[in-house]
Amino acid sequence: MSDDKPHAAGNVDAGDTSERVGMAVLRERGLEPEELREKLIDAIGAEFTTYYYYTNLRMHLAGHEDYKEIAEDARLEDRAHFELVAPRVYELGGHLPNDIRDFADRASCPDAEVPVPYDDEGGRLDITELAAEDVLEVLLEAERCAIRTWSEICDMTHGKDPRTYDMASRILQEEIEHEAWFVELLSMERDGEINPAGHFVRGEPGDAPLSTNRRFNDSA
């Protein structure tokens, strides 16, 4: 009977929990799951730390409530990216670093810290004098790093790992949207130029329309 079911058996012995078929098939397709796993940890380390740094950056957009709202969308959606991919690390036989400092150090993108403001002569100003354009520039560059990160993961997994590719592609689309939002805001705030993003307010803050997994019984 089993001869009629070609997928009923393979290189992993029946009942063997030391191996994962989900990893074995990646190797058969030319993708090293351990390498992918480590890259995913680095990528979601950046999403997790960006969520933290965006919390701080958003606070420094006081007086620009429209900017704060858009930064809040990006902040919460980056958290959704972390939560979407974290289980995949475990499916690939790994785990998140036990020490959050190690996790932050591994992040694939630089820390999106609140920038230190300077005057025209290069003198350091008090952080309360920080301009909105300085915050927007940090937000923009963080999104650009995320686009590069998830594009690389899409390239790694395309045609080899449909599950990870689906996740990375969904995240990438939202990161591209985020970049467009901050290009629009920075263009107007700093340069007085109209550079539309086609942005509309999400249904709810941080809605993450592509990267949040909806529950089947979600009636909202």
pLDDT in tens, 155-199: 999 999 999 999 999 999 999 999 999 999 999 999 999 999 887
Region 188-214: mean pLDDT is 83
Region 28-37: mean pLDDT is 96
pLDDT tens for residues 40-50? 999 999 999 99
Q: In the CATH scheme, what is the homologous superfamily, with its name and number, of domain 28-113+130-191?
A: Ferritin, core subunit, four-helix bundle (1.20.1260.10)
Most confidently modeled range among 52-56, 198-202, 203-207 = 52-56
**What one-character-per-residue DSSP string does 119-182 give?**
-TTSPBPPGGG--HHHHHHHHHHHHHHHHHHHHHHHHHHTTT-HHHHHHHHHHHHHHHHHHHHH
